Structure 1
Amino acid sequence: MLRFAPSPTGDMHIGNLRAAIFNYIIAKQTKQPFLIRIEDTDTARNIEGKDKEILSILNLFGLLWDRLVYQSDQFEHHRQLAQYLISKDLAFYCYCTKDFLEEKRAEYQAQKKPFRYDPAWAEIHKNTNPKPVIRLRGAQNNISFYDSIKGELTFNAQEIDSFVIIKEDGIPTYNFACALDDMLYDISFIVRGEDHVSNTPKQILIHQSLGYTKSLGYAHLPIILGENGSKMSKRDNASSVAWLLEQGYLPQAIINYLVSMGNKTPQEVFRLDDAIAWFDIKNIAKSPVKFDIKRLRFLNREHLKMLNEQEFALLLESKDPSVGALGKLHLQEASTLNEIREKLDRIFGIKLIAQTYEGEIYTQECEILYNILIKLIDSNAPSLQDYESLKLVLMEESKLKGKKFFKPLRILLTGNSHGLELNELYPYLRFFLKDILRVQG
């Protein structure tokens, strides 16, 4: 079984989504179930409703799960296994106060030594601290595992001292709950961010202590850097999946981009189903990858081009294929749904004919053309059927020509004084002339 294990403590980051995509792809490739495990052990930081938001995003991206579980549902089982480890002398109660441990850390820091917990401290505050934690005994031997991206990794036993598995409030720690649930749900392969590399030997030690001998596969993804070359933070808008969706990037385009980051793919533009056919986690680069919004914009435009007019219209909240056709036409100068919506909003919005356009005012010319157009619409004139016929009639009746004709006509029809050629737009605009011709002086 493959799993994606998000925490409901904040917005979904593109790094989390990338891990979810890869776990999903491998599950499909190996014909194994895909599990979503909501890791809600950090009760103080859990945000109400974030789990539903995460699930909604996964559903939108087509990352459909076979099973959904919440880590908190297993807390009692986790506590029982902690007691089992105590009975085997593989775990113990530690009564050390937080202040005592902070003092020890300061001492080690002053001596320029890495802090190591000493089990001899465990009962120092037994008579004064009624809420002990439970610690797993540290590693006796080095711990090694193979990472499909980073290769063979080895951690010295001295680096893995006795760590907390049950907190003073009885809640299991992240590493304990994670390791147990990977065991309980028979997880076979784990793809996650490289910030978890140091957690992996601790989780392996937990498995070893419980006599669990199954060897799990691991792949730790390099971090995603911002466009400035530093690690992406919450302050980077593009790090948020919700923000990208709000900006009008398509889920399939985001998937395309995240799969291709630091990866050699057989095709430049592809869908999730395509990637399932050829994806190999071993091809992911070891080094960090820089987020490139321009690249995402290009891919988004390509995926928008792949839509038919009806599909495009639905994304623009319309059932009219002509609206979809107008949207597709604007892909010549736009890359996101928001940019296209902005273009269409100007087309269907009230035209401000008295304002300045590129340093000039065309109020009088707009009024002349507007009055002629309204008469043509009211009489359902044949000249409305195609742009060239309409242009000839308008020129003849208005006596306008050159910039004094084309600029105001464009303003009336599109709300802009520049843009796509009117002869390209008009075949679709003609269906909406009554809606389009709304002016304000």
Structure 2
Amino acid sequence: MTEVRTRIEPAPSGSIHVGNARTALFNWLFARHHGGVFVLRIADTDAKRATDENYRAVLEDFRWLGLDWDEGPEAGGAHGPYRQSERFDLYRTHAEKLVEGGFAYYDYASPEDVDAERKRAQAEGRRPDHRAIADARKEDGHAPSIRFIVPADQTITFHDEVLGEMSTDLGRTPDFVIVRADGSPTYMLAVTVDDLAMGITHVIRGNDLVASTARQLLIREALGVTDAPMLAHLPLLVSPDGKPLSKRWGDVAVGAYRDQGFLPEAMINYLALLGWSFDDRTNIFSVEDLVERFTLDRVGKNPAAFDVDKLEWLNGHYIRSKTPAELAELLVQYCVTEGIPADSPEGRRTLEAVTPLLVERMKRLTEAPPMVRFLFADVTPDDKAAKALGGQEEYLAAVADRLEALEKWTAAAIEEALRRLAAERELKPKRAFQPIRAAVTGTLVSPPLFESLEILGRPKTLERIRTRVG
């Protein structure tokens, strides 16, 4: 088998869309499964969106996901440069070659001319005849675009690894622009030239691009290339109700899920399940499992629903799989973001002590800072906690006396003392322990009470309880 070479070419418009991330993952898995090469190239022909900040955001997303690239920005390679903005001369050369070969022509028509021809063609039930108006404004002095000639009497047929045999009748397909009047290439030309120049053997991409395949195959043929890469068009991602996955639905950028406390291994595991399955019962896959088991014949045709609840379930699984030290290190950045000074050696030790108490309560890492803030700073009871503290001064004074009298400050000793006091006063656990939790943590939602008091320490625990006594 020829060396497998796959690619992904995100536009640097900010953090990548989860759909692009899924496509990148499938390309990466296919290349890794076959011992091939995964190429990252940047589609930055749109100068308005292609800022350095957006470019760095794309690379950061790939690194966070663990999708390392063999060729591309910063990695280099024999087929660079890997930013389309640095390849304009190559695109222009190929476009002019197409013109010289009679496969394309210069189009001097104005946008108004093009729109008028489109409307005439629509009214007459034919495809637009751009060549008929191409020279209408040649003497006006403005730069022309370049259009590729589409043979109206041809049908393009190709095999798709997911969709099967596909055919496109070109009878209604108009000539299309491959170089804009400003000299920038269109997607059709850039992607085709780059795939050829970089020796891409397998094009794995979203189903929304299947309509462009026939035109790209035409360009390849016109450039003298008779063979085509293997094609696989992946099912689109949709919301749980079947609607397009857009910003109107919710967060669609990888960076948003990173900021919300999702782990990269959970995101990779979940993205892999969107359109692919190994069997009808396995949901948990390590990256190594995916590389070993991934094949295109198990990719489905139907749209795949992006369900945040399922992603959260997987995230909880991976959170629970972390050691206390690993989880503590992951939580540092989220705590610091919320103003909690957890980035010191002492702060890390505190987090490591409390993380075993958090794992069963967390679906996202962002849920931890509110639950651990009381360990790092004095607290002010929130509204619910303040309500729970109402009229509890005498009881809390008794609690403080019992805790102060303990010989050993351990969770077991604390629990025994507080349960004995509750029994003496005939208090059910909720009524007995809620005021203590409210006084010490400032909230009614926190890690298990007795273990929390042990970690906080006797002096701070007593100080906070006595403060509420007045």
Same-fold status (TM-score > 0.5):
yes
Deviations 1:184-209 (A, max 9, x none): 00011111111111111111111100
Matches within 5 A, 1:102-117: 102-111=115-124, 113=125, 115-117=127-129
Matches within 5 A, 1:112-131: 113=125, 115-131=127-143
Q: Which residue of 2 aligns with 1:432?
A: 456
Deviations 1:168-221 (A, max 9, x none): 111111110110000000011111111111111111111100012332011112
Q: Structure 1's 313 and 86: CA in aligned 2 closer, same or farther, altered over 3 A?
A: same
Q: Structure 1's 322 and 66: CA in aligned 2 closer, same or farther, altered over 3 A?
A: same
Task: Look up the SS of the partner of 2:30 in the other structure.
Answer: helix
* CA deviation after TM superposition for structure 1 residue 102, in Å: 0.8
Q: Which residue of 2 aligns with 1:135?
A: 147
Unmatched tracts of structure 1, length 5 or more: none
Q: Structure 1's 20 and 158: CA in aligned 2 closer, same or farther, altered over 3 A?
A: same
Matches within 5 A, 1:135-284: 135-139=147-151, 141-266=154-279, 267-284=282-299
The answer as to 2:24 corresponding to 1:20 is yes
Task: Look up the SS of the partner of 1:382 in the other structure.
Answer: coil
Q: Structure 1's 53 and 436: CA in aligned 2 closer, same or farther, altered over 3 A?
A: farther
Q: Structure 1's 349 and 98: CA in aligned 2 closer, same or farther, altered over 3 A?
A: same
Q: Note if contact 1:82-1:166 (Cα within 8 Å) is conserved in structure 2.
A: yes
Task: Look up the SS of the partner of 2:41 in the other structure.
Answer: strand
CA distance in 2, matches of 1:293, 1:159: 41
The answer as to 2:38 corresponding to 1:11 is no
Tell me which amino acid in the other structure corresponds to 1:102. Answer: D
Candidates 301, 310, 315, aligned match of 1:295: 310
Q: Structure 1's 108 and 247: CA in aligned 2 closer, same or farther, altered over 3 A?
A: same
Candidates 393, 398, 408, aligned match of 1:364: 393
CA distance in 1, matches of 2:373, 2:411: 23
* CA deviation after TM superposition for structure 1 residue 253, in Å: 0.5
Q: Which residue of 1 aligns with 2:438?
A: 411
Deviations 1:350-409 (A, max 9, x none): 343595549542551575267548856xxxx53312334564279669986625532222
Tell me which amino acid in the other structure corresponds to 2:9. Answer: A
Q: Which residue of 2 aligns with 1:63?
A: 67
Q: Note if contact 1:351-1:411 (Cα within 8 Å) is conserved in structure 2.
A: no
CA distance in 2, matches of 1:173, 1:124: 23
* CA deviation after TM superposition for structure 1 residue 422, in Å: 3.4
Task: Look up the SS of the partner of 1:249 in the other structure.
Answer: coil
TM-score, L = length of structure 1: 0.89
* CA deviation after TM superposition for structure 1 residue 248, in Å: 0.6
Q: Structure 1's 215 and 396: CA in aligned 2 closer, same or farther, altered over 3 A?
A: closer
* CA deviation after TM superposition for structure 1 residue 141, in Å: 2.4
CA distance in 2, matches of 1:401, 1:353: 26
Q: Structure 1's 354 and 276: CA in aligned 2 closer, same or farther, altered over 3 A?
A: closer
Root-mean-square deviation (Å):
2.8
The answer as to 2:429 corresponding to 1:392 is no
Q: Structure 1's 220 and 246: CA in aligned 2 closer, same or farther, altered over 3 A?
A: same
Tell me which amino acid in the other structure corresponds to 1:368. Answer: A
Unmatched tracts of structure 2, length 5 or more: 73-81, 333-341
Q: Structure 1's 161 and 264: CA in aligned 2 closer, same or farther, altered over 3 A?
A: same
CA distance in 2, matches of 1:354, 1:13: 37
CA distance in 2, matches of 1:78, 1:437: 73
Q: Which residue of 1 aligns with 2:408?
A: 383
